[in-house]
């Protein structure tokens, strides 16, 4: 139930528009339990397996559709952001009209915030992909375990090829975004100041930032250790600056309409 709880948490804390796009882990688990406990020969393995597959396929369709839709959006917004930055720089630069410095700074600040949020949203999509994949892998493992089936291996191979799992393009956009931000907003003395500030920071609201922190913490929790550790399990997550992440205290989720 550990993963189920984590997933639920993530769903609660994610962007509202995304909430119903995640894996229906609980329902699938219930089905698996139902299948394994069914003893009547009429409700045989074949039917149950078929039903299970049908649901899984629906889930995968859901992921694919949502993922590709978001991806398309990201492609458009990415380009727009690049153009917007260029415009702002040009306007203030040598060739363009020169508005006041305050305006420039204001514009740049807005652009920067938008870019950072955009970056975060893309990363959240990659996270979405990942957590759904993890859920699928887990549910398949449960299914095989309970029913003695051999569904997991071939099915997961197919999942690996699905659009929602192939996150290469989004990752590429993420990196491009990072590069742009690094170029346009170069890191100066700020870095040291930030590193020194290790005090607790309250992250409130439903910002993208909050979501990414939540996602990261969740990921760490999920991978902390498994009671059914097998060769298909991932090793525990360990990354530097984990204390930084932990220093973020998340408020209780504020659900929005």
Partner 1 sequence: MEARPALSIQRSGASQLSNHVVAGGLSSSLPALSTHLEETCQKFPNTQQAHAERELMTRHLAHATLLPANNGVVGHIFSSSSGFSSDIHYSSALPNEQNSRNSPFISQSPINTAALPLSQSSNSLLPQSTIPSHRNKENSGSWCTDPDFLDFPEWADQLITGDDALTSNWNELLVDNDMNLEPKTAYQVAKPCTTVPAQTQQLPSPSVESHSVVIPSSSANNAPAKPRMRWTPELHEAFVEAVNQLGGSERATPKGVLKLMKVEGLTIYHVKSHLQKYRTARYRPEPSEGSSEKKLTSMEEISSLDLKAGMGITEALRLQMEVQKRLHEQLEIQRNLQLRIEEQGRYLQMMFEKQKSGLDKLKGSSSNPENPPAPSDATNESPTKIELESSQRGNGNSGTGTVNAKSMLERSPQEVCGEHTTPETVDLEKAETHVSESSSQQPSKRPRLEE
Cβ burial, residue 233 (10 Å; 0-12/13-18/19+): middle
Q: Which is nearer to partner 1, 94 or 235 (CB)?
A: 235
Q: Find the Cα–Cα–Cα–Cα dihedral 109, 112, 118, 123, rounded to 10°.
A: -130
Q: How far is the CB of 101 from partner 1 (least distance, A)?
A: 16
Q: Which is nearer to partner 1, 99 or 236 (CB)?
A: 236
**CA 55 from centre of chain:** 22
* β-bridge mates for residue 203, sequence order: 250
* β-bridge mates for residue 201, sequence order: 248
State which of residues 23, 31, 140, 159 lies at the interface with partner 1 (CB under 8 A): 159
- Does 62 interact with partner 1 (rule: CB under 8 A)? yes
Within residues 216-255, the interface with partner 1 by CB under 8 A covers 216, 219, 221, 223-227, 229-239, 241, 244-245, 248
Q: How far is the CB of 58 from partner 1 (least distance, A)?
A: 7
Within residues 66-125, the interface with partner 1 by CB under 8 A covers 68, 71-73, 75-81, 84, 109-110, 112-114, 116-121, 123
Q: Which is nearer to partner 1, 9 or 94 (CB)?
A: 9
Q: Please compute Rg for the chain using Cα positions.
A: 22
* CB proximity list for 143: less than 8 A, separation 6 or greater: 32, 35, 52, 149, 151, 152
State which of residues 20, 90, 103, 178 lies at the interface with partner 1 (CB under 8 A): 178
**In terms of Cα–Cα distance, which of 167, 185, 174 is closest to 212?**
174
Measured distance CA(203)–CA(200) in Å, rounded: 9
Q: How far is the CB of 255 from partner 1 (least distance, A)?
A: 12
Q: Which is nearer to partner 1, 39 or 168 (CB)?
A: 168
């Amino acid at each position: 139930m550990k993963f189920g709880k984590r997933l639920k948490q993530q769903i609660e804390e994610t962007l509202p528009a995304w909430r119903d796009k995640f894996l229906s882990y609980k329902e699938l688990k219930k089905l698996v339990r139902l299948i394994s406990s069914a003893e009547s020969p009429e409700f045989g393995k074949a039917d149950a397996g078929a039903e299970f597959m049908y649901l899984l396929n629906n889930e995968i369709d859901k992921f694919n559709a949502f993922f590709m839709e978001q991806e398309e959006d990201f492609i458009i917004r990415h380009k727009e952001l690049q153009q917007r930055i260029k415009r702002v720089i040009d306007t203030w630069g040598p060739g363009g009209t020169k508005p006041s410095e305050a305006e420039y700074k204001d514009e740049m600040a807005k652009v920067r915030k938008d870019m950072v949020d955009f970056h975060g949203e893309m990363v959240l999509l990659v996270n979405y992909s990942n957590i759904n994949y993890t859920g699928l892998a887990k549910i398949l493992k449960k299914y095989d375990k309970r029913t003695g089936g051999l569904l997991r291996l071939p099915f997961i191979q197919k999942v690996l090829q699905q659009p929602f799992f192939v996150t290469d393009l989004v990752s590429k956009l993420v990196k491009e975004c990072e590069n742009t931000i690094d170029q346009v907003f170069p890191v100066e003395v700020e870095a040291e100041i930030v590193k020194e500030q290790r005090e607790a920071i309250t992250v409130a609201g439903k910002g993208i930032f909050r979501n990414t922190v939540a996602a990261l913490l969740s990921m760490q929790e999920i991978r902390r250790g498994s009671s059914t550790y097998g060769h298909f399990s991932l090793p525990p997550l360990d990354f530097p600056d984990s204390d930084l992440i932990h220093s973020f205290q998340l408020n209780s989720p504020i659900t929005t309409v």
